Amino acid sequence: MMLLDIADLSRRFSSGGRDVAALSDVSLTLAPGETLGLAGASGSGKSTLARILLRLIPADGGTIHFEGKDWLTLSGAELRRRRAKMQMVFQDILGAFNPRATVASVLDDPLRIHEIVPKAERPGEIAALLERVGLPASYATRSIREVSGGQRQRIAIARAIATRPSLIVLDEAVSALDVSIRGKILELLVELQQERGIAYLFVSHDLAVLRAVSHRIAVMQAGRLVEIGTASQVIENPQSSAARALIAAVPRLVTGLPERHYYDV
Amino acid sequence: MRRIQNITKTPEGAIGFGIIAALMLVALFAPIVSPGDPLRIAGSPLLAPFVDPAFPLGTDRLGRDVLAGIIHGTRTSLAVGIAAAIAAIAIGLCVGLAAGFAGGAVDEALMRIVDAFQIVPSFLLALAFVSVIGASVPVVVLAIALGAWADPARLTRAQVLSIRERDYVASARVIGMHPVEIAWKEILPNALPPVLALSAIIVAAAILTEAALSFLGLGDPNIVTWGSMIAEGRNVLRSSPSLSIFPGLALVITVIGVYLLSEGLTKALAGRRSEA
Ligand SMILES: Nc1ncnc2c1ncn2[C@@H]1O[C@H](COP(=O)(O)OP(=O)(O)OP(=O)(O)O)[C@@H](O)[C@H]1O
Ligand SMILES: [Mg+2]
């Protein structure tokens, strides 16, 4: 059974008299434990898809089934409860945290809201989460502004796995990071996936990143899904002009490295 | 404590803080520094300043001590100014938060009311309000607040609308946080600082409005205020200008102090943001 089934999803934006079809009839599926890379040029609608999926903005049309249930008709307390199963990591490594938060409070919120562990065990769980993403447990007391960008993204990942989700949407989650840190974060994500069977929808405009983590890659152009296939199919034998343009933007892809190796630069 | 240090790091902030702290002390200890009713007749009328050590700033037409008046006037000015600013910020915050969070028709309706209050000159509003209801300190405070809440309301709403779109609010929704908790913990604390920075300007404006109302005889007649002292002195402006000049100076110094403090506050807040 599919974990996620998106059918004919559409969304238009009209701002200042300009009408943009950010998403037109996008359909795709995701299996449990699978990584689907979502590629596309800037403005092709990747973030719009991610935000609709996370119920941050409404869709104009189409359906989403997540874990077998209609996801777009959920609301209120039921939606909040089910959100535990679908988490997100944002691109903006600073903006994704309340500037007043501490590392502990960032991780405490999801544990408290979803009652993942009893109250007394929360500090221990926070320490375990930090250690799992490669940070010392002593970081818990720090202000979120006192940790570096790469560390912050590790905390964002810890927050995302705190509720034990089955799907994590990562919108350009490594784009803002240094190339040297990027590889380590991708490695961590792949490890977590193998360990916990989490599925990823991995949004990026960088095919080199997607190739390192994706089982399949979908390519978007102007709100439409123009190509979808296994990572090696799409990269070695692209069918759409959009995919070819993305490949041309990453020269080292042409050398034919094996698929889904760890991304070391 | 760290906040205060941040404010006093800039020269404006340090001077403003010094002036306001001194005035606060004077206001707080007025009954000790200058005991007795400042409105009582204390000596012979129209004593020139700097002559009699018992009345360093002289006496007025009725023989009341000018220095005592100024000291006790500090209380009124600061109390009315600060109370009016607190009331204005409180009203503005409530309206701005309601408009920003509710959106739609509620937002539209509230913002039209804000527009209406912003169009009417705030001094006229206060004047009308006090003349209709009668002069007493609470009425004056309310009258001034009525003319001053529109700016904080507008700013609060703008802050809420902008912070609502931040990624950290999206993150809070994604982890399933309740909307009330999001408003209370994620949005409100981050929306407040710029609105609070506005409060100093409102205090300064409120002090001036209070003085102007008293000058026109619309202040509380039972307490001494700088505005009423200036108005008193106006009758003998040619022969004893000092009767108007001293309370006028006190007013100017206070307002400048408040402005400088607000500059320092704004810079301290901006500095904190750029550190982040
Ligand atoms: N809130 C909005 N209001 C108006 N237009 C919007 C809004 N959000 C997105 N759009 C438009 O929708 C289209 C798709 O935007 P989206 O952010 O999904 O693209 P993207 O693929 O994520 O691009 P990028 O790689 O730059 O992040 C763009 O044309 C964008 O201008
Ligand atoms: Mg995007």
Cross-chain residue pair B175–A97, CB shorter than 8 Å? no
What is the per-residue pLDDT across A200-216, written as a single tens digit (0 to 9) for each? 999 998 898 999 999 99
> What are the C-alpha distances in Å from B180 to residues A80, B166, B173, B177, B190?
13, 17, 11, 8, 15
Residue A252 sits at the chain B interface (C-beta within 8 Å): no
pLDDT at B2: 64
Q: Looking at the CA of residue A41, tell me the nearest atom of ligand 1.
A: 25
Helices (H), chain B: 2-9, 11-28, 30-33, 66-102, 104-119, 122-133, 137-148, 150-164, 167-174, 179-181, 188-215, 226-234, 242-275
Cβ B167–A56 below 8 Å, yes or no?
no
**Whole-number Å distance between alpha carbons of B205 and A115:** 50
pLDDT digits (tens, 9 = 90+) for B80-110: 999 999 999 999 999 999 999 888 999 999 9
- Ligand 1 pocket, A47 CB below 6 A? yes
Q: Who among B174, B178, B276 is closest to A54 (CB)?
A: B174
Query: DSSP state, B261?
Result: H
| A20 touches ligand 1 (CB under 6 Å) | yes
Q: How far apart are CA A255 and CA A84, in angstroms?
A: 40
Nearest-5° angle of CA A213, CA A218, CA A222?
130
A81–B176 C-beta distance less than 8 A: yes
Domains and CATH numbers, chain A: 1-85+166-265 (3.40.50.300), 98-164 (no CATH)
The two tokens of residue B105 are 């028709």
The reply to whether ligand 1 has any atom less than 6 angstroms from the CB of A40 is yes
Separation of alpha carbons A213 and A188, rounded Å: 11
ipTM of the complex: 0.91
Backbone angles phi, psi at B10, to 5 degrees: -85, 150
d(CA A10, CA A224): 9
A145 contact B CB<8A? yes
What's the gap in Å between the CA of A101 and the closest CA on chain B?
Answer: 9
With an 8 Å Cβ cutoff, is A83 touching chain B?
yes
Does residue A43 have its Cβ closer than 6 Å to ligand 1? yes
CA–CA dist B14, B163 (Å, integer): 31
User: What residues contact B232, with CB distance under 8 A and at least 6 apart?
Assistant: B60, B61, B243
Which chain B residue's Cα is nearest to A110? B175
Cβ atoms within 10 Å, residue B217:
11
CB atoms within 10 A of CB B160: 21
pLDDT band at B207; cut points 50, 70, 90: very high
Residues 6+ apart with CB under 8 A from B103: none
| B65: three-class secondary structure by DSSP | strand
End-to-end Cα separation, chain A, in angstroms: 36
Q: How many CB atoms lie within 10 A of CB A98?
A: 22
φ/ψ (deg, to 5) at B39: -90, 0
CA distances from A14 to A17, A20, A204, B104, B270 (A): 6, 6, 25, 18, 34
Q: How confident is the model at residue A259, as a pLDDT?
A: 55
Q: Tell me, what CATH number does B27's domain have? A: 1.10.3720.10
Cβ separation of A109 and B177 shorter than 8 Å? yes
Residue B59, helix vs strand vs coil:
strand
What is the C-alpha to C-alpha distance for residues A224 and A83, in angstroms, rounded to an integer? 26
Among B228, B193, B199, smallest CA distance to B82 is for B199
pLDDT of residue B45: 84
Pick the range with the lowest mean pLDDT from A13-17, A240-244, B3-7. Answer: B3-7
What's the whole-number average pLDDT of chain B?
89
Task: Give the list of residues 6+ apart from residue B83 with CB closer than 8 angstroms, or none.
Answer: B141
Which chain B residues touch A55 with a CB distance below 8 Å? 173
List, for residues B12-70, the tens digit of each pLDDT value. 889 999 999 999 999 999 888 888 888 888 888 888 888 888 888 888 888 889 999 99
Neighbours of ion ligand 2 (CB under 5 A): A 47
Q: List the structure tokens of B47.
A: 């004593």
Using a cut of 0.90, tell me whether the model's pTM lies above it: no
A48 lines ligand 1 (CB under 6 A): yes
Kindly report the nearest CA distance between residue B185 and chain A, in angstroms.
9
B182 touching A (Cβ < 8 Å) = no
Q: Which residues pair with A203 in a beta bridge?
A: A38, A171
Question: What does the alpha-carbon distance between residue B29 and residue B1 come to, in Å, rounded to a whole number?
Answer: 23
Structural domain harbouring B196: 2-275
A175 neighbourhood in chain B, CB within 8 Å: none
Q: Is residue A110 lining ligand 1, measured as CB closer than 6 Å? A: no
B272 and chain A: CB distance < 8 Å anywhere?
no
Query: pLDDT tens for residues A136-170?
Result: 999 999 999 899 999 999 999 999 999 999 999 99
Nearest Cα residue to atom 4 of ligand 1: A13
Flag if B167 and A55 touch (Cβ within 8 Å). no
**What tens digit of pLDDT does each residue of B158-181 get?**
999 999 999 999 999 999 999 999
What's the structural domain count of chain B? 1
- Smallest Cβ–Cβ distance between B168 and the set A83, A87, A98 belongs to A98
Say which of B173, B189, B275 has its CB closest to residue A100. Answer: B189
Provide CB contacts within 8 A for A129, sequence distance 6+. A107, A158, A161, A162
Task: Tell me the DSSP string of chain A.
Answer: --SEEEEEEEEEEEETTEEEEEEEEEEEEE-TT-EEEEEE-TTSSHHHHHHHHTTSS--SEEEEEETTEESTT--HHHHHHHGGGEEEE-S-TTTTS-TT-BHHHHHHHHHHHTT-S-GGGHHHHHHHHHHHTT--GGGGGSBGGGS-HHHHHHHHHHHHHHT--SEEEEESTTTTS-HHHHHHHHHHHHHHHHHH--EEEEE-S-HHHHHHH-SEEEEEETTEEEEEEEHHHHHHS--SHHHHHHHHT-GGGGG-PPTT-----
Cβ separation of A95 and B167 shorter than 8 Å? yes
Give the per-residue pLDDT at A265: 38
| Closest ligand 1 atom, residue A45 Cα | 18
